[in-house]
A and B are shown apart, each in its own frame.
Chain A
Amino acid sequence: EVQLVESGGGLVKPGGSLRLSCAVSGFTFSSAWMTWVRQAPGKGLEWVGRIKSKIDGGTTDYAAPVKGRFSISGDDSKNTLYLQMNSLKTEDTAVYYCATGHPDIMHFDYWGQGTLLTVSS
């Protein structure tokens, strides 16, 4: 059974940093493309960024609002995906989901339960 479990959310002051984690089980993490999606309170879904599998180069791509501030990485030995968030802004407040469509790469069959980040002074 595929499971994605996010953790690491919390309250952070503007300008601060936080790292979210997504522990994966039920498939080969090293061969999966993984995506972060966020949802601000009462708002819609927003694509944040994606990391390709190591086999496909392991490169990352980001949405414009987070480019240069957020960084996605993965640890194959721990089957864990990370989202490092720096220079946080109040508008980054959201529930953050990790998701994948593995083995497909263009849609998302599997989602974690989400972890809430609140950026506030």
Chain B
Amino acid sequence: QSALTQPRSVSGSPGQSVTISCTGTSSDVGAYNYVSWYQQHPGKVPKLMIFDVSKRPSGVPDRFSGSKSGNTASLTISGLQAEDEADYYCCSYAGRFTSVFGSGTKVTVL
């Protein structure tokens, strides 16, 4: 049950798009369409941004989008804004009613 692999950091200028990858295995990301993404600002509680690979909870801006191909899921932030600067974590169902989080990615808005 190793953590899913995410890049340590990504950055972009306001208005640009950034994509965060989340690589797992055929036992977790590749096996189920239950990938979710969480945003966490420093000292704050994680917030759900995407669930079931590509669905957005109400209230989450549509510039956040998710996708999956094989064992890799991705979160794309389009039209990057200053308030998007935060840590992002993916999470996947891993079978036998367990889940696994990604290693986390720090998004910096230049």
Chain A contact residues, CB within 8 Å of chain B: 35, 37, 44-47, 50, 52, 59, 61-64, 97, 101, 104, 106-109, 111-114
Contact = CB atoms under 8 A, between A and B. Distances in A.
Nearest to B48: A109
B103 interface: yes
Given A64-B1, A106-B34, A50 B51 contact: no
Contact of B101 (A46, A50, A112): A46
Given A45-B40, A50-B99, A111-B45, 13 more contacts: A35-B99, A44-B104, A45-B104, A46-B101, A47-B91, A50-B98, A97-B46, A104-B51, A106-B99, A107-B48, A108-B36, A109-B57, A111-B46
25 contacts: A35-B99, A37-B46, A44-B104, A45-B89, A45-B91, A47-B99, A61-B98, A62-B98, A63-B1, A63-B98, A97-B45, A97-B46, A101-B48, A101-B51, A106-B51, A106-B93, A106-B99, A107-B36, A108-B46, A108-B91, A109-B48, A109-B57, A111-B45, A111-B46, A112-B45
Contacts, number: 66
Nearest to B46: A111
Interface of B: 1, 3, 34, 36, 38, 40, 45-48, 51-52, 57, 87, 89, 91, 93, 96-104
* Closest 9 A/B residue pairs (Cβ): A107-B36, A44-B104, A107-B51, A106-B34, A45-B101, A61-B97, A47-B99, A111-B45, A45-B89
Which of B36, B102, B103 is the most central at the interface, judged by chain A CB atoms within 10 Å of its CB?
B36
B96 A61 contact: yes
A50 B101 CA distance: 14
A104 B91 CA distance: 15
B98 A107 contact: no
Contacts of B34: 106-107
